[in-house]
Amino acid sequence: MLQDEEAVTVSADIQKPVIPIVTILVCTGLSILFMNTGILSFFYLVPLGYAIIVSGSFLHTFAIASIAGIIFSIIKSAAGANAGTGIMLEIVYLSVIIFGFTWIMGGKRLREVYRFVIASIAGAIVTLIYINSPQVKFYEYFNEIAASLLNNSSESISDSGSAKGIFGLQMFSPEQMTETAKSFIMRGGALISMFFIFFVNRQIANVFFSIIKKRKKDLGLISFFAPSNIIWVLSGAIATILISGMFKIDMIGILAWNVFTVCVIIYLAQGSGVIMYWLSTRTNIFRLVISVLFVVILFSPISIVALAAVVILGIADIWVSFRIPRNV
């Protein structure tokens, strides 16, 4: 009888790790599928996030996902699907992004906000290297798209006799548009996009976990508080931007803009947490109306003003606690 109980115990211990591994394998397969399926490619990190929440291991998820990504990239390269883009560069890019996201989802030694910042900086750096690679020709493609838009704008002017084309694009040359895009990407654009990709995929993974497992993983932004010393980093970044602009020191200006972007995103998250906490105390109908109104504003001409107001609200939350007591 004792031997039977020991056998059952051993069997159960052996089978316990099997379910997470199977989950990781399935989610990795979905991630690779999403990565190569049109609009779903933006959400290819969601399955990996879900796998980490369920399994509790970001290292296993990273190892399996990165190996699968490398194998798939090699197969695509052998088939000529990504010839000329640089197989090694693509593998490094994919590995850094996957590691950054899995670390955000499953890392333990640092606060999540610091993991977000470090992973996004690493992702932004590898993205800049990738898009500036001669094999990728990102800015050449962007220049072609800009020229196409300008041609369409010119045609609309000819047809309608209007002095303005599509969004007034005829005022800029393709080269000017490309340089503007390059300047924006270097001065925080790449960082913003990495923050956005990581955050959206994280949130969707948490939503799926809540739906499938019927329990919430955390309170999300409601429980997020920015580190108190970030306000001094923000102040220093603003001062450095002004000084570097006066003395035309581009490299320092680019670094300062990226630091400024990190701080703004952190306070945007804190301001959003205040709003979400406030909405959580209201009725479902009220929350629905405000959510719809927010989406409308986000896609309106005053979206920048609205986002700036949320950032200011996040900064104000440093001195005036609008939410639950801080556990820091």
**255 and 202 in a common domain:** no
Weakest-pLDDT range from 85-89, 118-122, 217-221, 282-286: 217-221
pLDDT digits (tens, 9 = 90+) for 139-167: 888 888 877 776 765 555 455 544 444 44
Is residue 30 in a domain?
A: yes
241, pLDDT greater than 90: yes
Please, are residues 44 and 34 in contact by the beta-carbon 8 Å criterion? yes
Is residue 279 in a domain?
A: yes
Is residue 226 in a domain?
A: yes
Range of the domain at 230: 219-328
**298 and 279 in a common domain:** yes
**232 and 316 in a common domain:** yes
Side chain identity at residue 65, one-letter code = A
**269 and 125 in a common domain:** no
**291 and 198 in a common domain:** no
User: How far out from the chain centre does Cα 20 lie?
Assistant: 25
**262 and 200 in a common domain:** no
**207 and 89 in a common domain:** yes
Please, are residues 106 and 69 in contact by the beta-carbon 8 Å criterion? no
Please, are residues 26 and 68 in contact by the beta-carbon 8 Å criterion? no
CA distance 275 to 270: 9
**280 and 205 in a common domain:** no
Is residue 153 in a domain?
A: no
Q: Which of 181, 199, 217 is the last residue of a domain?
A: 217
**315 and 269 in a common domain:** yes
pLDDT digits (tens, 9 = 90+) for 171-210: 667 788 888 888 999 999 999 999 999 988 988 888 888 8
216, pLDDT greater than 70: no
Q: How many domains is the chain built from?
A: 2
**208 and 279 in a common domain:** no
CA distance 35 to 193: 17
Least Cα distance to 198 among 109, 96, 66, 273 occurs for 96
**234 and 88 in a common domain:** no
CA distance 227 to 111: 10
Is residue 285 in a domain?
A: yes
Among all chains, which residue has been given the structure tokens 């991630």? 31
Is residue 174 in a domain?
A: no
Greatest extent of the chain over all pairs of C-alpha atoms, in Å: 93
Please, are residues 234 and 282 in contact by the beta-carbon 8 Å criterion? no
- The end-to-end CA distance of the chain, in Å, is 52
Is residue 155 in a domain?
A: no
Q: What is the pTM of this model?
A: 0.79
**301 and 202 in a common domain:** no
Is residue 141 in a domain?
A: no
Q: What is the DSSP string of 163-206?
A: S--GGGGGGS-HHHHHHHHHHHIIIIIHHHHHHHHHHHHHHHHH
